[in-house]
């Protein structure tokens, strides 16, 4: 297993897509990377942008809000609400981008234990096929590849830290 493989994308319906990738780290480390405000900025978002965790309350009904900044100072805001939190197993939250008002994605991320690692599967569900297509056209797949590449790099760099 290697953390540097590309995720596989699978269309589950005209309103739902799943992304799967295996990582050389236990589910607990991946879950921590998704829920620790000190770790998230080290891997979340596009490589050329800086991520700031503005809000993070990882519990059902809790909210999250991340701000990404480019070198010129432009800001891109992402936010949502947690619907389900099962440590090291499953996170379900909404995902909204301020630049696309009214488009709300439900992100269900599962952490599956494998020998020597974890299979991470994120299922993205939309209200309409048009919303899914809009996000695919805006670069969802490329952004997700970059994001999960950065996650794999973070996990590799920190693998031997206590």
Domains parsed from the chain with CATH numbers = 8-157 (3.30.530.20)
- Contacts of the segment 32-40: beta carbons below 8 A, 24+ positions apart: 33/151, 33/154, 33/155, 34/91, 34/109, 35/91, 39/154, 40/66
Residue ranges in the chain modelled with pLDDT below 50: 1-4, 162
| pLDDT at residue 115, rounded to an integer | 93
Question: Nearest 5 degrees, angle CA 81-CA 68-CA 123?
Answer: 45
State the burial class of residue 46 (Cβ atoms within 10 Å of its Cβ: 0-12, 13-18, 19+). Answer: middle
| pLDDT at residue 139, rounded to an integer | 67
pTM of the full predicted structure? Answer: 0.89
| pLDDT at residue 111, rounded to an integer | 98
| pLDDT at residue 96, rounded to an integer | 93
């Amino acid at each position: 297993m290697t953390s540097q493989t590309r995720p596989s994308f699978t269309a589950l319906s005209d309103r739902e897509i799943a992304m799967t990738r295996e990582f050389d780290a236990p589910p607990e480390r991946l879950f921590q990377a998704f829920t620790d405000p000190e770790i998230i900025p080290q891997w979340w978002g596009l490589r050329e942008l800086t991520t700031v965790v503005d809000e993070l309350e990882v519990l059902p009904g809790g909210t999250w809000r991340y701000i990404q900044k480019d070198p010129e100072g432009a800001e891109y805001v992402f936010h949502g609400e947690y619907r389900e939190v099962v440590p090291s197993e499953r996170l379900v939250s909404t995902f909204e981008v301020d630049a696309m008002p009214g488009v709300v994605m439900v992100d269900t991320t599962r952490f599956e234990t494998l020998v020597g690692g974890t299979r991470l599967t994120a299922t993205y569900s939309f209200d309409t096929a048009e919303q899914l297509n809009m996000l695919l056209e805006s670069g969802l797949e490329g952004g997700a590849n970059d994001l999960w590449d950065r996650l794999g790099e973070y996990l590799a760099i920190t693998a031997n830290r206590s």
